[in-house]
Structure 1
Amino acid sequence: MTSLRATYRLQLSQDFTFAGATALVPYLADLGISHVYLSPILMARPGSTHGYDTVDHARINPELGTIDEFRQMVGVVQAAGLGVILDFVPNHMGVGGAHNELWLDVLKHGPDSKYADWFDIDWNPPRAEMSGKLLVPFLGKSYAEALAAGDIELRADGSIWANGSEKLPLRPEDERILNETYGSLNAAIAALSEPSGHAALDALIQRQHWRLVHHSAAADEINYRRFFINSDLASIRIDRPDVFAHAHQLIFQLIEEGLVQGLRIDHVDGLLDPKGYIENLRAKSPRPIYLAIEKILAPYERLRPDWPVDGTTGYEFGALLTRLLVPEDAEAALTQTYADFIGPVPDPVGLEYSCKLRVMDNELAAELAALARHLSAVAWSHSETRDLTENGLRKAMREVIAHLTVYRTYIDDSGVSNRDRREIGLAIAKARKTQPNFAPELLDFLEELLGGHLGAEYDPRLVITAIGKFQQYTGPAMAKGLEDTAVYRHHRLVALNEVGAHPERFSISVAAFHDANQRRLVESPDAMLGTSTHDTKRGEDIRAIVGAISEHPAEWDRAVKGWRDLLAANPIHPNDMYLFFQLLLGGWPSFGAPDDFGRRIKGAMMKSLREARERTDWGVNNTEYESGVDAFIDATLANRDFMARFEQDRAAILQTGLRKALVQAALKLTVPGMPDIYRGAEDWEQSFVDPDNRRPVDFAGLKQRLAAPAGPRDDKLVLTQRLLQLRQKLPDLFARGSYEPIPCGPDAIAFRRANADNELLIVADLTADGKPVVIPEGLGDWSSALGYTKASPAMASIFVGYR
């Protein structure tokens, strides 16, 4: 097995296939990585740009290539001395359309399908008419409008089709009924396609095991678990042995063949029993593998020590590093500027609380109601709590979840850990304060249930089911409430608004950063260190540049208010304008032409506005406001006076930001852990949120520049290669070598990495003020490990020495 040093994430699609990845191997080997880390490769929905919508676990995605082409690619990778890590999705599958045969079988046979229990479906929801039916919320207009418009039709394959792409199989007996009624299927198609046949078509549809509705109905009536609020990603029961075996058969085959050395497990918190799944995966893998999990940790939360994984995918590291580069003493000034610009600044903690309540009352309302039914069933199973009503339990649980500060707890058959009991206790205590009028017995019951204190009189099967449903619900509530709503409303410094971060946490000390690195070396030395991923909301160098505002608070105050005044006549809300100015500051290309920038930033702004769910929304678009924002952006970018003023005001912040970006890269590549390079992020990464961060990378240009670096534009590219090659030269030192903090000035960080044979000294100026970094006294002589003679002054903020 190739030793782990650094991964390089590639986003595969029909536009970047196994062949494209194969051609890239010499470049990646020269860069110095050890493992090619691929996005999901199993068969996904046609045209998928990400691969997380698996429709067939038994097949390689044909849009990427054949299994033989995958083997050929891996052969080239291994010949270059590299390994392969795959991204794997155990929580959900892509549904809708016409390509998931398991889903189509469930639609056809309903509860009698042999796959009915493979998906997490409630076949007996409260609405009697939905008994034995599955909600299919894929219409773009109301059911009645779609029926009248002919968007729902019977076709020759004996299925109903909606929107031209949604295949909805009929019950097995219905083809016989249609033949008896109309004489043939073709005659039935002809009759039901006429306006006079719409009532009969509707009657046929009502007999099916599915109910076709507008997508907005999912919020209130969805009856299958899904990935967050994505109805076209249905969760599967990976805890079932038959589902586990089916989903992993091909993956295990690739591991057994020696083609795959590791897995990244997507959304582990969505699983019923994450620890049990990981243990099962370890036990049944035909070979030992590297295993990283996508797990979002709260700022104070630690990865569970009894989970047999190598670490997380590194969201917490990226958040930590951004905060290290933001000085604490800038918080008050930036808060004041933000308040001057938008008015009263919302409390970030209160904002998280209110946004979680909002998503539970809207997008996640059906799931909350289902959870309340499970709680009510537990309460009903014992006379002492039988008076607790379902609605009362729903309201109490909603309040507790809104106060929970972690994504989820991990209660299982073995009991409740002290950590989980503490988290639940704190959330319930807060709920008692914010809702003093709640009947105390409601929260008492929840505390006993979730704390593991219910007596044997309660039905244990109902108890464990309710707890499992609770734990699978809290993650989506946190993700949609905090990550996808609150952080899109609070724009004091958007560099801090990332996956795994909380806007109220402004900065961390050098000591805290050292402490986190020392813990990682002991607890998970092979954990991924991520600064950019397909999930980040802004590329790492946008964050570095925007974060550099904190070194220039007075200049930023003057600049942002001057820009506003220059654009006095506009239709955009002040908070949205403040976001736009930061995106413009960080996203405007630092080098090269701003090709297609207007379209890109408008896309990022539109996604941000809809995620914020204030002036527009994904469900109901405020087209008038959205058009006004687009027009404002177009006018701003076309305003020569504004752009000249912007370039002038941006200059100092930009230079500081570029230096901080280099410090960020240097620290990521030298602290304990395994750095992960997101495709193209070895260079300046100024992408916006997806899909912008899946744009094609100019790998040909990167190869040319790496072969002949020529100054500041190439600083990050060369720095990354030099440090990756240093990791290649000293793998044992970086993998398990000691980490010793070195005292230095208040605005710098220094540490030593060492083993029995080698020693490194890393020093970085956190202010990135352009002055050469000062090596602490008394450390002796060191030789530069970078050796980059054409470095720009920005490189002076970093020293990496060896002896």
Structure 2
Amino acid sequence: MTYPRATLRLQLNHTFTFDDALAQLDYFAALGVSHLYTSPVTTAQPGSMHGYDTVDYGTVSAELGGEAGLRRLAAAVHERGMGLVIDVVPNHMGVGGSHNAWWLDILEWGRHSACARHFDVDWHSPDPALRGKVLMPFLGAQYGEELASGRIELKFDARDGRFVVAYGPHVCPVCPTDYAALLQSANRADLDALAAHFQGLTTQPDDQPRAAAARDALRAFVKRNGTDAIDSLLEGYAGADPVPRERLHRLLERQHYRLAWWRTATDEVNWRRFFDISALAGVRVERHDVFEAVHKLVFRLYADGVIDGLRIDHIDGLADPREYCERLRQRLVPLRATLPYVVVEKILARGEALRADWPVQGTTGYDFMNDVGALLHDPAGAAPLGDTWAAISGSDASFAQVALEARREILAAYLAAELDHAARALHRIAREQTATRDYTYASVHRVVAQLAMHCPVYRIYPANGLRGPIDNRYFSVALDAARAALPRANRAVLDQVDAWLGARSPDTAAQAGDAAAAAANPNPQPQPQRTQTAAQSASQNTAHNAAIKASAKGAGNGGPQNAPLSHALIAQRTALALFSQLTAPLAAKANEDTALYRYGRLLSRNEVGADPDDFARSVEDFHAANAERQKHAPYALLATATHDHKRGEDVRARLAVLSELPADWSAALRAWSTLNLPHRRNDRAGSTDWAPGPAAEAMLYQTLVGCWPPDLDPGDEAGVRALAERIAQWQLKALREAKLRTNWLSPDEAYESDCQAFLFDILAPQHRDGFLHELAGFVARIAPAGALNALLQTTLRLTSPGVPDLYQGTELWDFSLVDPDNRRPVDYAARAAAIDDEPPSAKLAHWRDGRVKFATLRRLFALRARAPELLREGAYVPLEVRGEGAAHVIAFARRHRDSCAVIVGTRLAAAWLEGDVPLVAPQRWGDTAIVLPEGLAAPQWHDWLSDTTTTASEGNRLLVRDVLAALPVAVLSNLAPGRAGTQP
């Protein structure tokens, strides 16, 4: 297969399996996509609805249909000339429960487990209670309470001949070194004889085969004699009597894990998690053996031609993303004759670009989602909407300020253990050098916290322990902010931490010089090398490359095993990896999962990959971003909806209209708040604690406006109720994610209940003539402009440089909210029924049913099939627009050899619309025209969206009143379809 020309993202789970996808394959082919692009297919926790909690990398999920089902789907896909891209999750696995064999092995054998280095476990915790142990923070209440209640139980697994400690669905193996004492505790001759098999066992790897043989004997005994004897043994560790409970406690104390209340994880977890989720443990894929184990199935499926490309999940969680991508590419290339297609899930900050030295095709498309989303917003609306939000919320803080405060809170309340790990790694370096041995842990901790809080990007990507010029550009922002925030007494520590975090190499001679300087100067003030040139960085990196690449086996948190690396370099790389693996989840947790739920100027800019302070982008900005994409990442995905979006693509498109009507929106907010004042809870005179509160109420109104279905009548009680139930689900998540008056760790259920009651009250049937009428009327007023934005967004996604990605179900209007709302089952029958040969323009009058969007997608997929290179990688040419309506038009051309297309769209046109149709009247455009450059001409231009033809006027200009007469968007080409609306 060649690289995709268009992908369709499918969320697989036990309710939508490989065979379910296979049943819809004719429909997917009729849409015109070239590749299916699925969520993870490896075995996940039972019942997983997303697949990101992998428990076995080596098998295809049986719940999805197993490898046979995957191969069946792939064969049918390939028969239709299509391809298959799968999601790979190398950063973390699902733990807890009883299904992850790697995790269970380290619980059983501790640091001597064959899998002990598969996960980022700190086996040398400074806490004596965790030294050599794994924290298991899965108890629903405090350990003593759960132990006394009998919910922690010693059990015997007859199938495996294994003693385990069970707590609900969680299973923790007992180390075989304890089996002899366990069996002897029953005072039975038969069990004493079995105990002899386990006598003298140690946890050393050489003893583990003997333990397996001893378990075989135990299993055979039970098979012959039943479990009566074992059951009698277990009674000695159960019951309400304190004696057996104390016996169980002493047994637990000897294990390689510590059972703990789930709340302890924030402060004490001694292994890397995915964000703050204790059910997902970080995997050390930087190690060669772990890398191979994680990808063994993927490589086999790719070599066999089952899959054609990979999407790498959460690339920023890895110790060294660059090295990972290089290794992945090196392993994939020899397996197939064609180059592998690999994209990475990477959130780019404002002004940040994907690193050019990563051998991948690009990102999964959040950067494009941000670019096109910002284009839909009127910059003139930023200030008045900001004033309205400040008046409602009582704060004029920018999003950056809100996010900074969120980072401070997240570090303290959610990622304290992760911060501790990074600080301790740096403090260990300090203790090993005479010049810095007196730097205290507390001072290093303060420095690391400030640097992490102020890092302007998700993370930096040092090479071989050294920051390059791009890293320094971002790190210097954090460094300056930390220097301003820290006490003067900590600045020397800050400068030294800067050096350890990649400002300079830990060269042995340099260390010796530092030590000598320290001896001569009792108060050293090391100065960081803040501004490396590219040449300096390359020179320093070269000094380590031979050693680092001498072996492909990973060791430590950031380096190869058995390579001749100095201890200092390993320590520095470890500290750098831990720091980067702190800043990435901190940014995501604080920005995406906290600040975006607190800041509400306009929720259409509160999206993954977006910066709400970056309110709007000009046409020129959009052209510049597309030109960069065409030059550097022509095969990157282009997304406007994903399984992780906060709001559906058409919700955002509609809310963007409010940027054009800020005064009207402000008036509506005031009127609705007054109208619904009687429904507030706990609204006492002078109180500020009423529910839901002014900020949450305002965000609720935005959400209602954004996702109100176009065809929903306020008198439709069942329809309004269904909407209310969806919004209630969003509201609960939004309130807890904001972490202001309730949160996931300690929910205020009374407040949450009051907020839900407020929601259901204002949407109650008896208010159909009050608030519901006002709400529906406002939505009806802005919905045409929202639909216009949505059609523009769709057209730009399918015609910009890159590979457009279609998220499942968004062929029709997408008014979904954050997950799980955006992962609801898709009605494919309704979508299949929408297929016909009519042009999108014929469906504009009935735009509310979404078929105009559906037809637009199909027509442009057809154009991409007709000329794949034209829209995927053809030259990108911004076009000049002149005349009275120029500010309301975006136009560009795509050109590849003899094929060309001109894309024209309407923007910021809310004030120009008349009536109920999302179309500017042709006469309104006046003399507005698109100037075609020399060399871009055709006798006639065929519009793939209206089946009309246009001829350029004198001066090689296209009059907008002609081009956009039938639809608010047009895609003109010198290529005409063989048959309108069909695939060639």
Displacement of 1:347: 2.2
Q: Aligned pair 1:742/2:879, yes or no?
A: yes
Structure 1 partner of 2:128: 128
Q: Residue 177 of structure 2 aligns with which residue?
A: 173
Residue 720 of structure 1: aligned partner = 857
CA distance in 1, matches of 2:358, 2:760: 50
Question: Residues 763 and 772 of structure 2 are in contact (CA less than 8 Å); yes or no, is this contact kept in structure 1?
Answer: yes
- Asked if the contact 2:156/2:164 (under 8 Å) is kept, the reply is no
Structure 1 residues 777 and 399, CA gap change in structure 2 (3 angstroms): closer
Give the equivalent residue in structure 2 for 1:374.
Answer: 425
Report the counterpart of residue 573 of structure 1 in structure 2: 693
Distance in 2, matches of 1:476 and 1:166, equals 26
> 1:414 Cα deviation (Å)?
6.8
Aligned to 2:799, the other structure's residue is in SS state: coil
After the TM superposition, which residues 659-670 of structure 1 pair with which residues of structure 2 at under 5 Å, given as runs?
659-670=788-799
Does residue 68 (structure 1) correspond to residue 68 (structure 2)? The answer is yes
C-alpha distance after superposition, 1:436-466 (max 9, x if no partner)? 4442201111222224325524522222211
1:59-106 deviation per Cα after TM superposition (whole angstroms, max 9, x unaligned): 110000021221111111111111000000111111110100111011
Structure 1 counterpart of 2:239: 194
How far is the alpha carbon of 1:594 from its aligned partner? Answer: 5.0
Q: Report the Cα distance in structure 2 between the residues aligned to 1:429 and 1:310, rounded to whole angstroms.
A: 34
Closer/same/farther in 2, CA of residues 717 and 16 from structure 1, 3 Å limit: same
* More divergent stretch after superposition (456-465 vs 403-412): 456-465
Match of 2:409 among 346, 358, 361: 358
Deviation at 1:777, TM superposition (A): 4.4
Q: Is the 8 A contact 1:299 1:316 kept in 2?
A: no
Write out aligned runs for 1:80-95 (5 A). Answer: 80-95=80-95
- The aligned counterpart of 2:6 is 6
Q: 1:516 to 1:148 in 2, by over 3 A?
A: same
Q: In the alignment, residue 776 of structure 1 is paired with which amino acid?
A: A
Give the SS at the match of 1:439.
Answer: helix
Report the CA distance between 1:22 and its aligned residue.
0.4
1:701 maps to which residue?
A: 830
- State whether structure 2 residue 897 is matched by structure 1 residue 756: yes
1:512 partnered with 2:621: yes
Distance in structure 2 (CA, Å) of the matches to 1:200 and 1:450 = 47
Pick the aligned partner of 2:968 from 783, 790, 797: 797
The aligned residue for residue 767 of structure 1 is: 908
Q: Do the aligned residues in 2 keep the contact of 1:59 with 1:250 (CA within 8 Å)?
A: yes
Q: 2:661 aligns with which of 547, 552, 555?
A: 552
What is the match of residue 575 of structure 2? 466
Equivalence map 1:402-421=2 (5 Å):
402-413=453-464, 415-421=466-472
| Aligned with residue 649 of structure 1, among 769, 778, 784 | 778
| 1:521-600 paired onto structure 2 within 5 Å | 521-569=630-678, 570=680, 571-591=691-711, 593=719, 596-600=722-726
Structure 2 counterpart SS, 1:382: coil
RMSD (CA atoms): 1.7
Letter in 1 for 2:968: S
- Identical-residue share of aligned pairs (%): 39
Deviation at 1:435, TM superposition (A): 2.7
Q: Confirm or deny that 1:476 pairs with 2:591.
A: no
Asked if residue 501 in structure 1 is aligned to residue 610 in structure 2, the reply is yes
Question: 1:161/1:689 Cα in 2 relative to 1: closer, same or farther (>3 Å)?
Answer: farther
Q: Report Cα offsets for 1:176-223 as digits up to 9, x if no partner.
A: 212211244312322322111222222221111111111110000000
The residue type paired with residue 395 of structure 1 is R
C-alpha deviation, 1:338, in angstroms: 1.4
Q: CA deviation at 1:467?
A: 1.4
User: Structure 1 residues 595 and 206 mapped into 2: Cα distance closer, same or farther (>3 Å)?
Assistant: same
Question: Residues of 1 paired with 2:837 and 2:901: CA distance?
Answer: 27
Deviates most, 7-16 or 592-601:
592-601
Q: Report the 3-state secondary structure (helix = DSSP H, G, I; strand = E; otherwise coil) of the residue aligned with 1:135.
A: strand
**Structure 2 CA distance for aligned equivalents of residues 145 and 335 of structure 1:** 50
Counterpart residue type for residue 21 of structure 1? A
Tell me the distance in 2 between the aligned counterparts of 1:559 and 1:795: 32
Within 2, Cα distance between the matches of 1:668 and 1:460? Answer: 45
1:17-36 matches, within 5 Å, as 17-36=17-36
Shift of 1:226: 1.1
| Cα distance per residue 1:706-726 (max 9 Å; x no partner) | 238763121111111111111
Q: 1:603: how far off?
A: 1.1
Tell me what 1:621 maps to: 747
- Contact 2:501–2:575, Cα closer than 8 Å, also in 1: no
Aligned to 2:757: 631
* CA distance in structure 2 between the partners assigned to 1:167 and 1:276 by the alignment: 35
How does the TM-score come out when normalised to structure 2?
0.79
**Cα pair 1:341 1:561 within 8 Å, conserved:** no
Contact 2:506–2:569 (CA<8 Å) still a contact in 1? no
What does the per-residue CA deviation read over 1:358-381, in whole Å, with 9 as the maximum and x for residues that have no partner? 111111001111111111111122
User: In structure 1, what is the Cα distance between the partners aligned to 2:947 and 2:489?
Assistant: 66
Which residue identity lines up with residue 320 of structure 2 in the other structure?
A: D
Cα shift at 1:772 = 4.6
Partner of 2:493: 442
Question: Is contact 1:424-1:451 (8 Å) kept?
Answer: no
Change (3 A) 1:135 1:542: same
Q: 1:436 to 1:127 in 2, by over 3 A?
A: closer
Moved more, 166-175 or 155-164: 155-164
Name the SS of the counterpart of 1:669 in structure 2. Answer: helix
Paired position in structure 1 for 2:315:
268
Paired residue for 1:730, among 855, 867, 877? 867
> What is the distance in 2 between the residues matched to 1:730 and 1:249?
36
Tell me, what secondary structure is at the counterpart of 2:86? Answer: strand
The residue matched to 1:597 in structure 2 has which SS? Answer: helix
Distance 2:654 2:734 in 1: 19
Counterparts of 1:787 and 1:56 in 2: how far apart (Å)? 50
Determine if the alignment matches structure 1 residue 293 to structure 2 residue 344. Answer: yes
Given that 1:548 and 1:653 are in contact with CA atoms closer than 8 Å, whether structure 2 keeps it comes out as yes
Of 160-169 and 671-680, deviating more is 160-169
Aligned 8 A contact 1:682 1:717 in 2: yes
Q: What is the CA deviation profile of residues 137-166 of structure 1, one whole-angstrom value per residue up to 9, with x for unaligned ones?
A: 111222122222222111222444444210
| Compared CA separation, residues 92 and 543, structure 1 to 2 (3 A) | same
- In structure 1, stretches of 5+ residues that fail to align are none
Q: How does 1:327-346 map to 2 (within 5 A)?
A: 327-346=378-397
CA contact (8 A) 2:788 2:906 kept: no
Match of 1:491 among 600, 608, 611: 600
Is the Cα–Cα contact under 8 Å of residues 45 and 99 in structure 1 kept in the other structure? Answer: yes
**Shift of residue 671, structure 1, vs aligned partner:** 0.8
Do 1:659 and 1:795's aligned partners in 2 also have CA atoms closer than 8 Å?
A: no
Query: CA 1:795 to 1:339, structure 2 compared with 1: closer, same or farther past 3 Å?
Result: farther
- Secondary structure of 1:596's counterpart equals helix
Distance between the aligned counterparts of 2:707 and 2:738, measured in 1? 20
Q: Distance in 2 between matches of 1:289 and 1:468?
A: 27
**Residue identity matched to 2:887:** P
1:675 — aligned with what?
804
CA contact (8 A) 1:264 1:293 kept: yes
For 1:688-707, what per-residue CA distance to the aligned partner results, in whole angstroms no more than 9, with x for missing partners?
11111110000011000223
Per-residue deviation, residues 318-359 of structure 1 (Å, max 9, x unmatched): 011111100101111111221232222322111111111111
Structure 1 residue 596: Cα displacement:
2.4
Q: How many residues align?
A: 800
- Determine if contact 2:139/2:260 at 8 Å carries over to the other structure: yes
Counterpart CA distance in 1 for 2:627 and 2:324 is 28
- Which residue does 1:602 correspond to in 2? 728
